[in-house]
Amino acid sequence: MRPDVTEGLPAFTVDRTLAVPLGVQLRGQIEYGIACGDLPPGTRLPSIRDLVVQTGVAHVTVAHVYKDLVTRGLIVTHAGRGTYVADPGATRPSRNFAALRASLADVLERAARDGIEPESVVAFLQAMVTRGHATRGVGLNIVLIGVLDAATHAYALELQALLRPEDRVQACTFTQLARPDLADDVRGADVVLTLGHRLAEARALLPGLDILPVRVAVSFATRGQLAALAPDTRLALVATFDDFLPTFLAGVHRFAPQVSEVRATHLGASDVPDLLGWCDALVYASGADGIVTGLRAGKFAFEYRHAVDVGDVERTLMPALEEQRGLLRERKTP
């Protein structure tokens, strides 16, 4: 577990005007915070009592939310210390470096026989690492497991653009994992990734695999579209899932603070037709694009898209991928 991370902890709120149970709202905010990196591993969460005071949600409801998140492996509770966002790396299988140490020992012995000092070996190795082994590229077969098909493919393409040309990123959804042939293909990948808040679920479906989390954030294009809305816009929001609705609404208020008339609902709600008739513009969540067909001509609509968090990829994912690349290179070396 990392040291406590508390700075910048987002405030948890519930909106009683929404037709979404308060516990669902609270759980969705925590899950979204984990998925987007707003609640990184090691973040200390409010106690149940403090969260009751902060949100006004009943003690039993908050306790149930925390229990559910603990069961799913998203948070951990330590008696006398508090509740924290779980560290995905804490459950990763430990690496066996015995073979690597043996190989390095052979290299040092060979260098000594040839009169090469250990310091020279270290310098040569550092130079190879700095160059990224450009002369001996080893491509990685990577699978990204997501929820919605279109969004998962978009994330896979974004990741592909950040990696080496020889790497290959494929998209797969949790629904598709029910097919034995696809599950076998995923098991055969060099690296398996999934969204941060679905990590425990992916590991349960694919036991024994070292699955890594990918963080996402609201895309820059979506932020720009929200910022460009006129202040007098009557803006409707339609979420795909009810538990995402409060976070969706908070995000729109964050990136379009100039818009005061905002109403929100989700696909399963009965007020969708009325909302589409009232609004001037519509923002819909990924997976809810079919809602656009209900808009009258001339009304503006766009998707509230997320994108892979480039900074998180560079900080946490790239080192893990390079470690795996090194292991593959060692296996392929005659």
pLDDT in tens, 269-292: 999 999 999 999 999 999 999 999
- Residue 123: the pLDDT is 67
Residue 58 backbone dihedrals phi, psi, to 5 degrees: -60, 145
**pLDDT digit of tens for each residue in the chain (334 aa)?**
444 445 557 788 888 888 889 999 999 999 988 888 888 888 999 999 999 999 999 999 999 999 999 988 899 988 888 899 988 765 554 455 566 677 777 788 887 777 777 777 776 676 665 554 444 568 899 999 999 999 999 999 999 999 998 999 999 999 999 888 888 989 999 999 999 889 889 988 998 888 999 999 999 999 999 999 999 999 999 999 888 898 999 999 999 999 999 999 999 899 999 999 999 999 999 999 999 988 888 899 999 999 999 988 998 899 999 888 888 877 766 5
- Residue 134: the pLDDT is 44
Whether residue 203 contacts residue 209, with contact meaning beta carbons closer than 8 Å, is answered with yes
For each of the domains in the chain, give its residue range(s) and CATH number, in order of start.
22-89 (1.10.10.10), 98-131 (no CATH), 139-216+309-332 (3.40.50), 220-304 (3.40.50.11590)
Q: Which two tokens stand for residue 133?
A: 């082994």
- Residue 5: the pLDDT is 47
- Residue 3: the pLDDT is 43
- Residue 1: the pLDDT is 41
Chain centre distance of CA 122 = 36
Please give the full DSSP string across 165-197, using - where no structure is assigned: TT-EEEEEETTGGGSHHHHHHHHTSSEEEEEGG
**Residue 215: its H or E element:** none
- Residue 2: the pLDDT is 46
Entry pTM = 0.76
What amino acid occupies position 286? S
- Residue 89: the pLDDT is 63
What is the C-alpha to C-alpha distance for residues 303 and 288, in angstroms, rounded to an integer?
Answer: 8
- Residue 272: the pLDDT is 93
How many Cα neighbours within 13 Å face the side chain of 31? 24
